[in-house]
Structure 1
Amino acid sequence: MRKLPLILGLLMGIMSGSSDVMAQQHSEQNHSKYIAPKDKLVQEKLAHWQDVKFGLLMHWGTYSEWGVVESWSICPEDEGWCERRGPYSKSWFEYKKAYENLQTKFNPTRFAPEKWADAAKKAGMKYVVFTTKHHDGFCMFDTKFSDYKVTSPKTPFSANPKSNIAKEVFNAFSKQDFMVGAYFSKPDWNTESYWWPYFPPKDRNVNYDPKKYPEKWQQFKDFTYNQIQELMTDYGKIDILWLDGGWVRPKESIDTTISWQKTIPYNQDIDMAKIAAMGRKNQPGLLVVDRTVSGEFENYVTPEQSIPDHYMPIPWETCMTMANSWSYVPNDEYKTTKKLIQTLIDVVAKNGNLLLNVGPGPDGEWHQDAYNRMQEIGKWMDVNGESIYGTKPKAPYRQGKWAFTQKEAVSYLTYLPENGENQLPLEVTLPVSAVSKKSIISIPGIKVPLKWKASAEGIKVVIPEKVSKQLDSQPAWVFKVS
């Protein structure tokens, strides 16, 4: 992920209120540059993806051994999220060597992707995006083009029958009917055709001028193409190619109003047209998400750790952490179930999807809090999921504490209570006036329809005391108008 100013615990990142964040969010809400796909199969898959609404993202790699922010501690930038800690921190060269040596310790013997898929399904998630490779270049799949991988003899887990972790994850989730997405980092800080050892790296970018050394850059383009081709041909059905590392992009695509983009020194064009064509040849209808690079190969936009402040008519997805960090950090603090459910409701009302991240630990397990949140979210979704799945936003989308969605002739008005607001009042005024006399107003999970009457303020709905008690302390209350 693209890191924003932060320090949490060891090396963790969260969203800040910096001007760069605001510029980035403004850019992601500017949908004038969005190009809708022309391929009918891509259109159909995109429409299906928009209907499923809720997905799981997982950041996992050798960095979990140290419990540090994924990849970024080896980036030679003077930023909080790149800060080095520990016995090797005085020398970047020693630190990078020690970091890469984590490969020889990585042995997640509790890895059981079927357990994850089961938990995610019970939570109501419908798609998964898994990190096949982060910026550090360590491959969680059996690539033929690098030995810096989980299946290398250097990695203890390579002796495990489930050592090809990405394939095991994709298979487990496919069996549960999830859409499957492969996260892939375009930059690779381990390969010599990106960080060429002839020059020391200065920042996250390629450390030589591709225009001056075109053969070296062609090697990197070929390397990237070949690894993505492996994922598109050897790992079952792939629905989404989710590309991170937006500084690897054509020079003309740089948005100079965003500080992290205007500092990109070189044209880093990797020929996305060729990559997308290959991907869709092998995976018809493949969604390509070239994050932050507006245009033909960003089939949906991905605001990170943030939610647009208004409805957006284009396909989009908020990617957000369930805890504070993207990757495993000991004793990380998880968001409340109420916060997570209300985030999903807010996102869906504005026409988005929510991709919620969990970081597995070095042993191959999730923190118990992640399982607990999944179970609690699932209880609410089992009853109220009809207000989420397959719905479309309905004006005014978000108004005060209310969120509005619709499905054909049915409207859903969802009330998002504040902390401490635990009991549904015995009379609730719905902020809507266009209701037929024959309309039925009900609450999902409650069998009896509610009594209501029109008023100048809206529709006043009477809530029986028994119903109010039954819905006590819910994270959100859904009213169905049909």
Structure 2
Amino acid sequence: MNRIIIIFCLVFISFLAVSQTYKAPTDEKVAAKLSQWGDKKFGLFMHWGIYSIPGIVESWSINSEDASWIPRDSTKNYEEYKKWYFDLNKQFNPVNFDPTIWASYAKKAGMQYVVFTTKHHDGFAMFDTKQSDYKITGRDVPFATNAKANITKEVFSAFRKEGFMIGAYFSKPDWHNENYWWPRYATPDRNNNYDIRLHPQRWDNFKKFTYNQIEELMSDYGSVDILWLDGGWVRPKATVNEEVLSWGAPIPAWDQDINMPNIANMARRKQPGLIMVDRTVHGEYENYQTPEQKIPEKPLNYPWETCMTMGDAWGYVPNDNYKSTNTLIHLLVDIVAKGGNFLLDVGPKPDGTFPEPVLQRLTEVGNWMAINKEAIYSTQPIAPYKTENVCFTKSKNGNIYALYLIDDKNVASSKVTIKSPPKMPKKLTLLGLKSNLKWKQIGNNLEIILPTGVKDLKHTLVFKMD
């Protein structure tokens, strides 16, 4: 019996290893766009929807799983709470919505692609879908009569005009759709709440609904570069891996398969070269992987992107705890030095504006990027990647950059030491200053004498090593 258990465990571990293996795209147009995306390095993520009105966690409070990070009004029973939440659409009226302002701030911050939530798990579509009236242009929504009511179209257009790559976030689960959460039964967790094997037609209806909504996004909203699919528990049962098990939610005895090959074929006919991100479902429809709220300890051997919030929350929450500009720049540098992209999330307010701290952070990050962007864009990781508080990147023309992370205060020391750089330079400059640098090699380290003008530089000093 013990031998059988051991064999089973080895087979299961082997399955997990295979299921988590990255599969590079074979479509040349997809590979080319993926390479283009990899050079962008810095993107803007936005979670915006009816949850922004009360300023609560996006969608998850209507899921009855018991978790500390899913707060819910305890004065209402569950069914009352769901009705209150779903009825928030009747209050959504972002009269100050102007995506050209968002795009302007993002561009000044040095961001080069955007991923916008077209629909989160609660099912409220931020685009003019024909598949449901639960949408921003629905008859119950005050904003529906506004000239900018088709919010997704307005966002994509504004960012496209600023030269951004365009990404559409789309939730595979839809907790408002009766073919996913059937009102005939309770909704105990995030999964669909009926046995698909007993009701195949109902699930087929949901698959058609999902296909049709994605087809709308791929057909009616201009050029789209990335389809960023969330809700990784909606997947073929055979692909369930260690990451899914770690979420703690029950795993149904049936497939929640929405026929991704069919969706991908359609989407790429409409949008040739489209990057697909069926996140956590490792394989041919996850063209890059998406570590959430964390940075890998070392470079990964496949395309990846850290998605992380600027504050504590994905959507707008009043008085959120926003990361400092210094922290954001250090995160960007660390991610890029390890070969990844940084997708930084902000939550617009219910009136359609960015919170003031967001505007401040974007402006200050932009000031740093204006000086140091050549050490970020189109760079590659180079060993040793990071030593203590110094990260390294390499440009395509062979220049090496040492990015020296400093605290919120200006540099107090008159010299810095870079330990074990990839190479010793023939020429050394400090981005942002024109004066020559004095330096010397001490063993495997580089000791640099800092000029007086360094006091005006903040967050991270970037040394260009020619």
TM-score (norm 1): 0.90
1:405-441 CA deviation, whole Å, 9 max, x = no partner? 0012200011112455x3153222222466467x110
Conserved in 1, the CA contact under 8 Å of 2:16 and 2:241?
no
**Residues of 2 paired with 1:75 and 1:391: CA distance?**
42
State whether structure 2 residue 178 is matched by structure 1 residue 192. Answer: yes
2:90 equivalent to 1:90? no
Q: Deviations over 1:6-40 (max 9, x none)?
A: xxxxxxxxxxxxxxxxxxxxx99999610000101
Residue identity opposite 1:98 in structure 2:
W
- Work out the CA distance in 2 between the residues paired with 1:58 and 1:205: 24
Output one character per residue of 1:282-309: Cα deviation in whole Å (capped at 9) or x when no partner: 1011000001111111111101111111
Structure 1 residue 460 displacement after superposition:
2.0
Q: Matches of 2:384 and 2:16 in 1, distance apart?
A: 21
Distance 1:98 1:28, change over 3 A: farther
Q: Aligned partners of 1:28, 1:396: CA distance in 2, in Å?
A: 29
Judge conservation of contact 2:42–2:110 (CA < 8 Å) in 1. yes
Q: Which amino acid aligns with 1:195?
A: W
The equivalent of 1:409 in structure 2 is: 398
1:253 match: 239
Change (3 A) 1:173 1:435: same
Cα distance in 2 between the residues matched to 1:393 and 1:38: 24
Call closer, same or farther: CA 1:262–1:96 in 2, change over 3 Å. closer
Q: Which moved more, 1:396-405 or 1:233-242?
A: 396-405
> Structure 1: which amino acid aligns with 2:430?
I
Partner residue in 1 for 2:462: 478
- Deviation of 1:83 after TM superposition, in Å, equals 2.8
Partner of 2:73, secondary structure, is: coil
Q: Which one-letter code corresponds to 1:475 in the other structure?
A: H
Partner residue in 1 for 2:113: 127
Partner of 1:12 in structure 2?
Answer: none
- 8 Å Cα contact 1:29-1:312 kept in structure 2: no
Q: Are residue 227 (structure 1) and residue 216 (structure 2) matched?
A: no
Structure 1 stretches lacking a partner, 5+ long: 1-26
Report the CA distance shift for 1:297/1:435 in structure 2 as closer, same or farther (over 3 A): closer
The answer to whether residue 295 in structure 2 is matched with residue 311 in structure 1 is no
Name the stretch that deviates more: 395-404 or 442-451.
442-451
Tell me which of 252, 272, 294 is aligned to 2:260.
Answer: 272
CA distance in 2, matches of 1:169, 1:28: 39
The structure 2 residue matched to 1:159, chosen from 129, 136, 145, is: 145
Q: Cα gap change, 1:31/1:50 in structure 2, threshold over 3 Å: closer, same or farther?
A: farther
Give the conservation status (yes or no) of the 8 Å contact 1:29–1:308.
no
Identical-residue share of aligned pairs (%): 53
1:257-284 CA distance string (max 9 Å, x none): 6332773213111111111111111101
Alpha-carbon contact 1:425-1:468 (below 8 Å) kept: no
TM (norm. structure 2) is 0.93
Aligned to 2:441: 454
Residue deviations 1:220-246, cap 9 Å, x none? 110000000000000011000000000
The answer as to whether partners of 2:190 and 2:249 remain within 8 angstroms in 1 is no
Q: Secondary structure at the match of 1:430?
A: strand
**Residues 335-374 of structure 1: matches in 2 within 5 Å?**
335-374=323-362
Partner of 2:379: 391
Write the mapping of 1:418-437 to structure 2, written as runs, cut at 5 A: 418=407, 422-423=410-411, 425-432=413-420, 435=423
Aligned-partner Cα distance in 1 for 2:441–2:424: 10
Query: Which letter does structure 2 place at the counterpart of 1:93?
Result: E
Distance 2:387 2:114 in 1: 31
Q: Deviations over 1:285-335 (max 9, x none)?
A: 100000111111111110111111111121000000011110111111211
Distance 1:31 1:391 in 2: 30
Which residue of structure 2 lines up, in the alignment, with residue 8 of structure 1? none
Distance 1:261 1:247 in 2: 11
Query: Is 2:204 the counterpart of 1:218?
Result: yes
Given that residues 124 and 381 in structure 1 are in contact (C-alpha distance below 8 angstroms), is that contact kept between their aligned partners in structure 2?
yes
Q: CA separation of 1:436/1:418 partners in 2, compared to 1, >3 Å: closer, same or farther?
A: closer
| Per-residue Cα deviation, 1:77-122 (whole angstroms, up to 9, x for no partner) | 1112333116xx4311111111111111110001010000000000
Q: Residues 321-332 of structure 1 correspond to what in structure 2 (within 5 A)?
A: 321-332=309-320
8 Å contact from structure 1 (residues 254, 261) kept in 2: no
CA-atom RMSD in angstroms: 1.9
2:12 aligns with none
1:17 corresponds to which residue?
Answer: none
Question: In 2, are the aligned partners of 1:185 and 1:245 still within 8 Å (CA)?
Answer: yes
Query: Are the aligned partners of 2:218 and 2:271 in contact in 1 as well (CA < 8 Å)?
Result: yes
Equivalent residue letter for 1:412: Y
